[in-house]
Amino acid sequence: MPLPTITTPTYELSLPSNDKKVKYRPFLVKEEKILILAMESEDTKQITNAITDVLNSCIITRGVKVDKLPTFDIEYLFLNVRAKSIGEVVDLVVTCSDDGETKVDVAVNLDDIKVQRKEEHKTDIKLDKNLSLRLKYPSMEQFIKSNFDFDGTNVDASFKMIAGCIDQIYTDEESWPGTDYTEKERLAFLDQLNTKQFKEVEQFFDTMPKLSHKMTVKNPKTGVDNNVVLEGLASFFV
């Protein structure tokens, strides 16, 4: 007689980037082992790949390609999968900013962590009186390639990342989809931008939605209240 099969619960959330409903399940022991081994390696690429692989296994909704999702979608997804798998509360250690050395233990409820959006963020940039540029969010695939698998300088990697995020160039009468052009052609287009225009492009990335949580921690040595901001998955990945 075979051993019984354990029923795994399922949950649903909305992706921050587009509000699409996604069903998922908690990760299993075999998948947790993958994450633990990746964390022990302290290799950023290995950790990122482990998160992507586990999410691909845990997402039940068909057609969701994790490596194509914006990074903040992946962070939010993983945080929720982690909460349902291990527990909603994580114990963290933060350093008080008033003296820069005192460490305080804090408990953070993962259900309180949300993707924060800045009001000034915009995806469309007016380049001149006729021409506009629409940008899309970098996917995890682009993030890994730009940060880990590139030859050359960091500047080259940044430009390739930006070129990969060109969604559309358009006027009132015409449109040029970014996917219709090679990386070389998109890079050549970026080289035409003046400093002011490029700063607006950089602003898109600087103000992108991100996983963020603000909290106040009292320094037990000085009695001073410290404002602590936790940002990005690494702050909660324990």
For the stretch 75-121, pLDDT in tens is 899 999 989 988 888 888 999 999 989 999 999 888 888 898 888 99
Q: Are residues 192 and 237 in the same domain?
A: no
Is 167 exposed, middle or buried (CB count within 10 Å of its CB: 0-12, 13-18, 19+)?
Answer: middle
Judgement on whether residues 83 and 2 belong to the same structural domain of the protein: yes
Q: Which of 20-29, 61-70, 147-156, 211-220 bottoms out in mean pLDDT, i.e. has the lowest?
A: 147-156
Position 110 in a domain: yes
Q: Specify if 168 maps to a domain.
A: yes
The maximal CA–CA distance of the chain, rounded, in angstroms, is 74
The verdict on residue 119 lying in a domain is: no
**72 shares a domain with 20:** yes
In this structure, the answer to whether residues 221 and 107 fall within a common structural domain is: yes
pTM of the model: 0.79
Indicate if 109 and 213 belong to the same structural domain: yes
Same domain? For 146 and 215 the reply is no
Residues 236 and 181 in one domain: no
Q: Are residues 56 and 8 in the same domain?
A: yes
Expressed as residue numbers, the domain containing 28 is: 1-87
Q: What is the pLDDT of residues 198-233, one digit of tens each?
A: 999 999 998 999 888 899 999 999 999 999 888 877
As for how many domains the chain has, the answer is 3
